[in-house]
Structure 1
Amino acid sequence: MAEREAKSLEQVDHDQVAQVVAVNDTEPAPSISWYSRISKFFSVKSLPSTRANLFGCSLGFISTGYQYNVISLLNVIWSIEYSQYYTDSLETRVNNALLYGVLVGQILFGGAADYFGRKVSLLITSTLVILGVIITTAANGVNNSVQGLFWAITIGRGLSGVGAGGEYPCCMPTNSEDGDELSVQKRGRRIALLGPCIEMVSENAVTVIQIILLHIFGTNASQLEPTWRISIGIVIIPTILVFIFRLRMKNSRLYERDRDIRRRFPFIVVIRMFGWRLVGTCFTWFLMDSIYFSFLTFGADILANVTGSSLMHIAYYQLVNMAWIPMAYIAAFLVDRLGRKNILMFGFFTYAMTLFLIGGLYPILFGKPAAYLVLYIFQGMFQILLVIPIYLIPSEVYPTVIRASCYGLSAAFGKVGGVVGVQFFLPIANAFSSPQSGYRADFLVAGGISVVGLVATYFLIPDLSKVSLEKEDDLFWKEVDEYYKKKNQEKNECEDEIRVDDIEL
């Protein structure tokens, strides 16, 4: 009897709970405001690792793009403010400082990202960028020495360059590995949108900020110091924000899977399977950056030569670079459909034709800024067709165990090309009797380099646009197993031969 009463009471409780749930289900759910949705989306405490990876990798390119382009107008500013000191050799040294640092960072953190993991490496790169930006912004020479000032700027830009260089082999492989897990078919678009496209927007945001600062503080030589210090230092804000997101990051699933099965592998297998790929990614990136950084660094100087305008006019003329941004997004949405290799070849071809055209018409374009800017826009648009696939290809054509290392090595060769281009850009221009003839020679040489890049892409670059990275990893480890199996078989055969010889003796 007691058991029946207990069961009936239990049944009543369940019925009451069911009625309450049914009533609650009929009531409309409370609406969530747009502010709450946005706050939750960007909340760091509740941020899932996948979203932290997205923000932590993609927003890091704000810093790299900003630091690349900030120097272009600063060269003009420093040549006005420190006209007696800012010589061609000093300008080249300051410009190359970031590139040398990037070169070191790409090689160093490429290996670190494969061995220690992507997250730890990215936290270190952000720290180096923050320290480098602080040193550059607060740069000063002993007893107000101008030479000391520029040595401090050189050191600061070099240190932040090491951090910026580490972004590439840590972020791009992570984006590639996360993208492979989400959709192999749309992996390239995701990588492009979260990397080079953001970098492109950031490069142009620099000019807008510098124009605003010039309007605030003025363009006279005595008024320029706040402009260049603030324009360098303001990038510390997004860098600190990125650092916070990176605290919540995790290594990609593909990286963790590979680390679980990771074992010793012979480099002969790597060379045999990926040797020509490495030559291709290194050489094409070298060629592109030798042109890209030359015109990125000295673009304002060329504009000053063509237009003969004031500092403010040169700054406004640089806004034409914003016309390149749509091309970056067009390339990002086409890169999966047309393939990385096809877009890269088309980019080298059109870029070469545009450079030859500008070089051939440069004497006519001198003093005609409108005509030059039209061709300059097309030059930049076709240049973007190189950037998107160049960034993507090394993140896909290598196995996970060496992906960051090979990516860092490829990008490092690119920065060697950038250093070479920046180093020889002014000597080539100064080797002629007039700046017009010198800059014309620079455009023609760059066009020839683009033709070499077209040929190198055709013969050396594979296209793994819609190939699963996980399956490529399996093929690599299968090849490693086959290598060791063959070596063990040869060893056993050799031992059997020795035993036979001993028996005959």
Structure 2
Amino acid sequence: MPLSRVSMIFACGTALFSDGYANGVIGLVNTILRRLYPNELKNTNYSQTLSSLAFAGTVVGMLVFGWISDKIGRKTGMMAATGIVALFSALSASSKGANGSIEGMLAALSAYRFLLGIGVGAEYPCGSVAAAEQSEGEGVAKNAQHRWFTLATSKDTLHIISMLQFAPDTMIDFGFVIAAFVPLVLLWICGENHLRAVWRLSLGLGVVPALLVFVWRLKMENPEAYKRSSMKHAPVPYKLIFRRYWKSLIAVSATWFLYDFIAYPFGLYSSTVVDSIIGSTNSLVVIFGWAVVINLFYMPGTIIGAFVVDIIGPKNTMITGLVAQAIIGFFMSGFYTQLTQSHHIAGFAILYGIFLSFGELGPGNCLGLLASKSWPTGVRGQTYGMAAAIGKIGAFVGTWAFPPIIDAFGGSGSVKGNTGPFWIGSGLALLSALITFVGVRPLSHDGMMDEDEKFRAYLEQHGYDTSQLGLRDVIDAETGSVHSEKDIKEKSTVVVEGQEHSDEPSSDDVAHKA
């Protein structure tokens, strides 16, 4: 495959790295802030406020930029998203309260995180959708289309809520691994006596990947699929769209909701592993170091899954990952007491690593793929944004629902309190697999182009004027009228084939009459 085409796919998708970094690093920053300002944070709900505002911003970005992606343009949405992430990463690093108050600084940081969340959410319906559209067509091998999209956008919205007492709402991907590694390096450089420099630099360095992606995208154009089938200048027939795609839209949204909802109990395992290894140490270097190790567990599943998905398809890969993860979750819950004994903790950690890898291989890789390629180009940004927003709501609900569930089982200090949520989570994983099996259609290679053609035919059957589809950026020099690229292409084809008619007879006609 040409390097330029790979570059286009990655230019669309890799901003999720900078978004993952921006989301992931805040958990470690909060750990530092609790060390620096224990009295100021002792009787406040700062962590809950921060996570709630970040969640709200992300949902707003998903929904608003879903519309922008479809009605204004993929590139416009991507450039704006990257700019928002860069700007508010810098402002987060420079957060300051009036007269130097700590409360004011935390309020400013929370406000900036809300606005940064809009940029993070915007990348879903803009960057991921554009990457999916770049993964099909000329220059892309059919047996690698899903693979390149997965590698370019590899992400997971699994939330390690309680890992090392980090704040909720973190995105697990390579950006998250780097987000754990950068503060560790800064600690090595600055030492634990200069934690203010560590947390501000950790946030500020999020500007670097965002700006690099911004420059990378400057020379991009909107994908060819978007140019052909955009509804930028056409009314969106929402009733017809829902009538045709309601089943897959509900199925993908429901599985995304369930997966993010059960992320809370699955994240509890990391605390068991890390607490057993590091004991009662207060060293941030040790804590951050193990955060990097835990996050690396996700990478094998992500990379292997990128190749598996082209072999058995996104739907089957999703089901395989969910079922395998549920089985391991049931096993770890059933034998929790035996596995968490000190002489078995290594085996527990290995099982947990496999557990995380299956999560990445299945829903971690496939949710975005299914959301990107299950619906037509004209509304792909909006449908993707809606499904992703519902998933984010699932994460938020799970964050607030599981603490009472744990208390109902006997509290976090009891075996039932630690294992009860996993029985629920593993059961919901199986339910998610069942919904995927029933409600999600298999995706084929070049499936988006095929679906666009079927969608056109469907619209025409219901009286919709499909000549309105496509970008109208070609102006007739003689009449001044605006034509779509489709019209220009069809006209050119007619001229080439000699089928264009005129009132004057051709030379062949004259000769024939003579």
Superposition TM-score, scaled by structure 2 size: 0.78
Structure 1 equivalent of residue 311 of structure 2? 337
Match of 2:181 among 208, 211, 234: 208
Residue 449 of structure 1 pairs with residue 428 of structure 2: yes
Q: Distance in 2 between matches of 1:304 and 1:336?
A: 35
Residue 392 of structure 1 corresponds to which residue in structure 2? 369
CA shift for structure 1 position 436: 4.6
Deviations 1:124-150 (Å, cap 9, x if unpaired)?
111211222122211223344333222
Report the residue type matching 1:469 in the other structure. Answer: M
Query: SS in structure 2 opposite 1:191?
Result: helix
What pairs up with 1:40-79 in 2 under 5 angstroms? 53-79=8-34
Alignment partner for residue 300 of structure 2, among 322, 326, 341? 326
Instruction: Give per-residue Cα distances to partners, 1:239-296, cap 9 Å, x unaligned.
Output: 1111112221100111101138974453232112100110011111111122336756
Q: What secondary structure sits across from 2:135 in the alignment?
A: helix
More helix by share: 1
Question: Are the equivalent residues in 2 in contact too, given 1:73–1:300 (CA < 8 A)?
Answer: no
* Partner deviation per Cα, 1:169-215 (whole Å, 9 max, x = no partner): 11122112111113444211111011116972221112221221222
Contact 2:57–2:114 (Cα < 8 Å) also in 1:
yes
1:83-98 aligned within 5 A: 83-84=38-39, 85-86=41-42, 89-98=45-54
User: The residue matched to 1:180 in structure 2 has which SS?
Assistant: coil
Distance 2:329 2:411 in 1: 21
Q: Against the structure 1 CA distance between its residues 207 and 193, is the aligned structure 2 distance closer, same or farther, given a 3 Å change threshold?
A: same
Using the alignment, how far apart are the partners of 2:43 and 2:445 within structure 1? 50
Q: Deviations over 1:316-363 (max 9, x none)?
A: 222132132122111101101111111111111111122233333444
Partner of 2:258: 287
Alignment match, 1:81 = 36
Between stretches 330-339 and 459-468, larger displacement belongs to 459-468
- Whole-angstrom distance in 1 between the partners of 2:380 and 2:62: 12
User: How many pairs are equivalent?
Assistant: 436
8 Å Cα contact 1:72-1:299 kept in structure 2 = no
Q: 1:263 to 1:200 in 2, by over 3 A?
A: same
**Residue in structure 1 matched with residue 325 of structure 2 by the alignment:** 351
8 Å CA contact 2:146–2:369 kept in 1: the answer is: yes
Counterpart code for 1:70: V
Runs ≥4 residues deviating over 6 A: none
Question: Which residue pairs with 1:129 in the alignment?
Answer: 85
| Distance in 1 between residues matched to 2:298 and 2:90, nearest whole Å | 30
> Aligned equivalents of 1:408 and 1:462: distance in 2?
19
The superposition leaves residues 468-489 of structure 1 with CA deviations (integer Å, 9 ceiling, x where unpaired) of 3222111111111111289xxx
For residues 350-499 of structure 1, what are the structure 2 equivalents within 5 Å? 350-366=324-340, 368=342, 369-385=345-361, 386-430=363-407, 432-437=410-415, 438-484=417-463
Partner Cα distance (1:485, 1:229) in 2: 54
> CA-atom RMSD, angstroms?
2.7
Provide the C-alpha distance between the structure 2 equivalents of 1:287 and 1:267, rounded to a whole number of angstroms.
26
1:225 to 178, 193, 196: 196
Cα distance change on mapping 1:233 and 1:328 into 2, 3 Å: same
CA distance in 2, matches of 1:213, 1:320: 19
User: What residue in structure 2 maps to residue 104 of structure 1?
Assistant: 60
User: Contact 2:66 / 2:122 at 8 angstroms: preserved in 1?
Assistant: yes
Counterpart-to-counterpart distance in 1, 2:23 and 2:406: 22
In structure 1, distance between residues paired with 2:227 and 2:354: 43
Deviation at 1:467, TM superposition (A): 4.5
Distance 1:167 1:328 in 2: 19
Shift of 1:365: 4.8
Please say if residues 323 and 433 of structure 2, whose CA atoms lie closer than 8 Å, have aligned partners that are also in contact.
yes
TM-score normalised by structure 1 residue count:
0.79
Residue type of the partner of 1:276? K
Equivalent residue for 2:244, pick from 260, 270, 273? 273
Does residue 249 (structure 1) correspond to residue 205 (structure 2)? The answer is: no
Q: Structure 1 residues 232-241 or 417-426, which shifts more? A: 417-426
Task: Pick which of 254-263 and 174-183 moved more.
Answer: 254-263
CA contact (8 A) 2:74 2:222 kept: yes
Q: Tell me if structure 2 keeps the 8 A contact 1:352–1:450.
A: yes
SS in 1 for 2:173: helix
Structure showing greater Rg: 1
Matched AA of 1:67 = A
What is the correspondence of 1:176-215 to structure 2 with a 5 Å cutoff?
A: 176-181=132-137, 182-196=140-154, 200-215=173-188
Quote the Cα distance in structure 2 between the aligned partners of 1:367 and 1:75: 30
Change in CA separation of 1:353 and 1:142 when aligned onto 2, cut-off 3 Å: farther
Alignment match, 2:205: 234
Checking the alignment, whether the CA contact within 8 Å between 1:132 and 1:157 is kept in structure 2 is yes
* Contact 2:321-2:359 within 8 A present in 1 as well: yes
Cα distance in 1 between the residues matched to 2:310 and 2:35:
46
Q: Distance in 2 between matches of 1:208 and 1:174?
A: 29
